[in-house]
Amino acid sequence: MDKRVNRGMPRRTFLRASGFAGAAAWTGMAARAQETSKRPAIRKLGTIDLDLVETTPVVFKGKVYRFEYVRTGYKGNTTGDSYFRFIDRETGEASMAFAKGYHLGSAMVDGETMYVAGTNIWDGERIDIIASRDLVTWETWNALNLPGYGIFNTSMCRADGRYVLMFEVGKPPEIAGAPFTARFATSPDMRAWELTAPECTYAKDRYTAPHCLRYRNGYYYDFYLEAVEGGYEQYVVRSKDLIVWEPSPLNPVLKASDEDKQFANPHLTPEQRKAIQDARNINNSDIDFCEYEDRVIINYSWGNQQGVEFLAEAVYEGTETAFLEGWFPG
């Protein structure tokens, strides 16, 4: 609708002159504007790095770190294998590499311990837990062995005295349905893990690749990737039982935009900056976040979802509880 149509005209007069179709269009626009005003306001800061996707910002002993899964193709990786590491968000200093050969990790802090979940191989059948109290010495144990499964991304959280692990599966078809699908396991102590009931999934009818699991005030929140026309967008659903899920009326949480191509890292080289500016962007995915000083620090990936990928950062000014519950107003 041309904005000039309604210039200076009272709303009632405009609706009467336009007829039912015009009134419906105006009402729809007003509703969308109202929904937009209710959305948790995410401010994109721009790109941090290239060829990094699965990351988790965490607060550990008072400092913000970014857990990173470093793939073999990452420019700074000269080891010939994948590995995990932590980056001090303030200084950019990297921890010692650990978990050589592991893939698709995620991190969670519980008290004085850092826990990391990772798959033994890409599209693997096993998830291990790797733990440390100093980011130097690590202990590893097995969480799940699932023959016939194809496991990818992981995410962990605490929920009412237990730990919950969400993991992404692409097979078998009777479990995954249409790849990719969230499946869940629980543990009382991070050591012994048990699969939840088979109906605890999201969602078997279409592409819903899971990225980030949180729990707050009786609800689980699954931030996942929805395939849309022309690309991929970050959505969120919530559930009380991991079976029945409610989509946010304010979805998408994130979608591709020009702000993704801002430079949030002053140390990006001219070559990297050109790659960012020239890249095709149809995707916002792999969201994860943490709360620090009443602000939510968000990491996510953008790019073409086919191997050309970039790591970006965004912020939400408020608590993590407000951020989660804000996607479900009323």
Question: Of the ranges 15-24, 96-105, 231-240, which one carries the lowest mean pLDDT score?
Answer: 15-24
Identify whether 297 is part of a domain: no
Please compute the mean of the pLDDT values over residues 201-224 and round it to a whole number: 98
Q: Is the pLDDT of residue 13 over 60?
A: no
Whether the ω angle into residue 99 lies within 30 degrees of 0, i.e. cis, is no
Which residues, 6+ apart, have CB-to-CB distance to 41 below 8 Å?
316, 317
Identify whether 91 is part of a domain: yes
Please compute the mean of the pLDDT values over residues 101-125 and round it to a whole number: 97
| Averaged pLDDT of the chain | 90
Are 143 and 165 contacting, i.e. CB atoms less than 8 angstroms apart? yes
Question: 99 lies in which domain range?
Answer: 53-254
The number of distinct structural domains making up the chain is 1
Q: Which ranges of the chain would DSSP assign to H, the alpha helix?
A: 11-38, 173-176, 270-278, 320-326
Identify whether 250 is part of a domain: yes
Q: Which of 18, 87, 20 is nearest to 57 (CA)?
A: 87
Q: Which of 242, 234, 291 is nearest to 109 (CA)?
A: 291
What is the pTM assigned to this prediction? 0.89
- CA angle 295–58–288, rounded 5-degree value: 75
Secondary structure class of 310 (helix, strand, coil): strand
Identify whether 133 is part of a domain: yes
Identify whether 241 is part of a domain: yes
Identify whether 100 is part of a domain: yes
Q: How far apart are CA 7 and CA 223, in angstroms?
A: 40
Confidence tier at 35 by pLDDT (50, 70, 90): low
Q: How far apart are CA 322 and CA 297, in angstroms?
A: 13
Are 281 and 302 contacting, i.e. CB atoms less than 8 angstroms apart? yes
Model confidence pLDDT, tens digit, residues 151-187: 999 999 999 999 999 999 999 999 999 999 999 999 9
Q: Find how far residue 274's CA is from the centre of its chain.
A: 26
Confidence tier at 330 by pLDDT (50, 70, 90): confident
Identify whether 324 is part of a domain: no
Model confidence pLDDT, tens digit, residues 234-243: 999 999 999 9
- CATH number where 128 lies: 2.120.10.10
